[in-house]
Chains A and B, each alone.
Chain A
Amino acid sequence: MGNLLKIAIRNLFRYKRRTLLTSSLITIGVVFVLVFVSITGSFKSMMIAQNTDAMLGHLQIHRKGYVASIENLPLNLNLKPKAMARLENILKEQSEIEAYSPRIKFGAMFSTFVETTNIRLNGVYPDKESAVAPLLPARVLEGEKNLKRGNIWIPELLAKGMKAKVGDSVVIVATNTDGSVNGKQFKVAGILESVTGPGGRDGYIHIEDAAEVLRMGVMEISEVAVRLKDFDQLDSFSGKLSTLLAQELNQQKKPIFELHTWEKLSPFYNIARIIDLMTLFMKLMLIAVVLVSIMNVMIMSVYERIREIGTMAAIGTPPGRILSMFLLEGLSLGIGGAILGNLAGSIIIFILNLLKISYNFGRQQGLILRADINPVDIIVLSLIVIAIAVIASLQPAFKASRMEPIKALRHV
């Protein structure tokens, strides 16, 4: 095999310009895919992290039917204390869970005593919420990063529109489950940066304040946001938890809970899917580039060396060895292109990170591009290139190995 490889590599260097052009083509293809995958991957991770770490959590549990009416923030579909206790018992037993945070979500009127508008509010336990959505405190642009009772964090657009500042007194008026209206005065403790996505423009108050505004005799929870220790376990864990939750039935023997991962709750999941699709198309293009360029080179190589092939066959070289020789040429081209492409791609990604390129996403400005390369991506990309290089060489190599020596020797 070593000798065959030696001959294959020498044959590649025999046509230096052609080999250089082909390997450059493969290299450029690999670089494009690698840089694209790393940048879009970084963008996707940022987007997912913004959604999960700033608002949603990795998954959410609601009372069955709540999500279908989530736009209305229905208070009559909150989880009662008994159901909440059953849910907490289950969640506490799951070692995969890092934290969970019960929330009361409701719509209210927000008044500065001068102007009034609508606001969507989340009543949360600040410590639990920070554990589930660790980026939430970082969204506080002005004011206190610790949410105390009697305080409210309001979204920046609302603050601007209503000319509300940190330290101002405001009133929150909400309709309770029984249809009555209640109000409570709050101090604006923080202005929250708006983020793109569901809940990105909600205000926050302490959960006990929320219960008070809504005149809840006992705490009723709209949703429980859950953060996992390992995000990559999301699919397997959500499956496991769904099964566990499905066993919790109400008096009508119907499931009490419903579970949704962030993907089901955020429209950004579709963008993530589109990014994955674009990556797939980039990979398909790379496959086409490698396939066509290597096949072209190998067909030319076989055509130009017909007499040589005839000589090798005449002096007794077994067909399988001739096949291997040409396959190794294609393989070497693929390996060379993959190595150079990965090397060049890694250098470009390193330089991109050094440049600290900033970009805007929705209302978020000055985000720094952090292109990461996943070693798995490099391995998968290299394997694709190498496999396609071998596949592209198969037909020409097979043709060479099946050549009649007598005809090949006569070839001019």
Chain B
Amino acid sequence: MSLVIAEQVRKIYRTGETEVEALKGIDCTIEPGSFVSFVGPSGSGKTTLLNLIGCLDKPSEGTLIVNGTDIAALNRTEGASFRGEHVGFIFQDFNLLPVLTVYENIEYPLLMVQQIPAKDRPERILRLLKAVGMLEQKDKYPDQISGGQKQRVSVARALVTNPKLVLADEPTANLDHNTAYQVIELMKNMRDEFNTTFIFSTHDQKIVGEAEIIYTLEDGLLTDRQVKGGNGNG
């Protein structure tokens, strides 16, 4: 069964009497374990679509099923619970909590969201710290590490709850080219290791090439879908 099923998904933002149609009827499916990228110019609807898939927002029309759940039917608390259970997020600005160390940032979703018992947490966190190459920096605070390192921590945090889906909105926008490649490579490796579906948005054409399925969005519509080799079974 597809992990994400979108049927005629529309999203309309209303500001006073002004209506802006950010998504104009999106149809797509994304299979488990894929490495998918949404590309398109600014304002094309990439972030809006990622927000909908991540259950951060609800479609104005159409059906969006994520991991078998119609996200339009979830209330605020159910939405939070759904995200905590099934979705990991990687943000453009890393969004690590500044008062927590690297280790504690990764621990946060286990502790505050899934409430995993203390004895079960260290193994999972240390494994991810090792996988993202941040074991030695585990006691540092976010302001003591570089942007690339922050994004590695962000990747680990997104994966620590074993989500079905990781969403990354412009994950490399604030990184230099080499670091951006390293982060995308890391995401791919994580996909291979944990069989997690990664969906990211970008407008960097060089990074786009790393995706196995590339959806192109223009003016709120999916205009193209390219499938490359690898695990791109979508």
Contacts and interface: CB of A to CB of B under 8 A. Distances in A.
Interface of A: 3-4, 7, 10-11, 14, 307-308, 310-319, 321, 405-406, 409
B80 interface: yes
B99 interface: yes
Contacts of A14: 98-99
B137 to A, nearest CB: 18
Contacts of B76: 319
Nearest to A311: B95
9 contacts: A4-B112, A308-B97, A311-B95, A316-B81, A316-B83, A316-B84, A316-B161, A319-B77, A409-B95
Contacts of B95: 307-308, 310-311, 409
B108 A11 contact: no
A310 B93 CA distance: 12
A314 B54 contact: yes
A315 B89 contact: yes
Contact of B81 (A310, A318, A406): A318
Contacts of A315: 83-84, 88-89, 108-109, 113, 157
A316 B56 contact: no
Contacts of B182: none
> Which of B57, B81, B99, B161 has most A Cβ within 10 Å?
B99
Nearest to A7: B99
Given A11-B99, A317-B80, A312 B112 contact: yes
A318 B77 contact: yes
Contacts of B113: 315-318
A406 B56 contact: yes
Nearest to B85: A316
Contacts of B80: 313, 316-319
A97 to B, nearest CB: 62
A7 B99 CA distance: 7
Contacts of A308: 95, 97-98
A7 B89 contact: no
Given A316-B84, A319-B76, A406-B56, 15 more contacts: A308-B95, A311-B89, A311-B97, A314-B54, A314-B56, A315-B83, A315-B89, A315-B108, A316-B81, A317-B80, A318-B84, A319-B80, A405-B56, A409-B91, A409-B95
Contacts of B12: none
A323 B112 CA distance: 13
B33 to A, nearest CB: 22
Contacts of B135: none
Given A316-B80, A316-B113, A406 B99 contact: no
A3 B108 CA distance: 10
Contacts of A307: 93, 95
A3 B111 contact: yes
Interface residues of B, number: 30
A409 B113 CA distance: 18
Interface in B74-125: 76-77, 80-85, 87-89, 91, 93, 95, 97-100, 108-109, 111-114
A164 B109 CA distance: 90
Contacts of A318: 77, 80-81, 84, 113
> Which of A11, A311, A316 has most B Cβ within 10 Å?
A316
Give the interface SS of chain A, mostly helix, strand, loop or mixed: helix
A7 B109 contact: no
Q: Which 4 A-B pairs have the closest CB atoms?
A: A316-B84, A10-B99, A316-B113, A311-B95
Contact of B109 (A310, A316, A319): A316
Contacts of A405: 56
A321 B91 CA distance: 22
A406 B108 contact: no
B106 to A, nearest CB: 11
Contacts of A312: 97, 112
Nearest to B113: A316
Nearest to A410: B47
Contacts of B97: 7, 308, 311-312
Given A3-B112, A311-B95, A316-B113, A406 B83 contact: no
Nearest to A401: B76
Contacts of A314: 54, 56, 83, 89
> Which of B56, B93, B161 has most A Cβ within 10 Å?
B56
B56 to A, nearest CB: 5
B51 interface: yes
B57 A406 contact: yes
A167 to B, nearest CB: 82
Contacts of B114: 316
A180 B194 CA distance: 116
A8 to B, nearest CB: 9
B150 to A, nearest CB: 13
Nearest to B98: A14
A10 B141 CA distance: 12
Nearest to B100: A7
Contacts of A3: 111-112
A312 B83 CA distance: 11
Interface in B37-92: 51, 54, 56-57, 76-77, 80-85, 87-89, 91
A64 B154 CA distance: 86
A307 B142 CA distance: 15
Nearest to B76: A319
Nearest to A307: B95
